[in-house]
Amino acid sequence: MAEPLLDIEFSKYWTRLTISQKQSLLSVIKSFATEDETLDLEEYNKDLADAEAAYKSGNYITQEEMLNLIRKW
């Protein structure tokens, strides 16, 4: 029930925007409205295997190292 009211309110503000503002807002809306990318089982298992291989090869940072990096921001 609230959705039509939101659409009406949105349209009131939409008409007040400049073209560049509309383009900017449209790009934000599109980023929210895109379909979620889903992985099939094969892709999921490959991602897990890649992550495990990276971990085993030492390609990671510890929590302590991450905290030290954050403190430098």
Are 49 and 69 found together in one domain?
A: yes
Are 46 and 67 found together in one domain?
A: yes
pLDDT in tens, the chain (73 residues): 577 888 899 899 999 989 989 999 988 888 887 766 777 899 889 989 999 999 999 988 899 999 999 999 8
Asked if 22 contacts 13 with a C-beta cutoff of 8 angstroms, the reply is: no
Q: Domain count for the chain, please give it.
A: 2
Are 24 and 4 found together in one domain?
A: yes
**Confidence at residue 38, expressed as pLDDT on a 0 to 100 scale:** 75
pTM comes to: 0.42
> Which residues fall within 8 angstroms of residue 22, CB to CB, at 6 or more apart?
14
**Confidence at residue 3, expressed as pLDDT on a 0 to 100 scale:** 79
**Confidence at residue 1, expressed as pLDDT on a 0 to 100 scale:** 55
DSSP annotation of 4: H
Are 73 and 45 found together in one domain?
A: yes
User: 62: domain range?
Assistant: 41-73
**Confidence at residue 48, expressed as pLDDT on a 0 to 100 scale:** 92
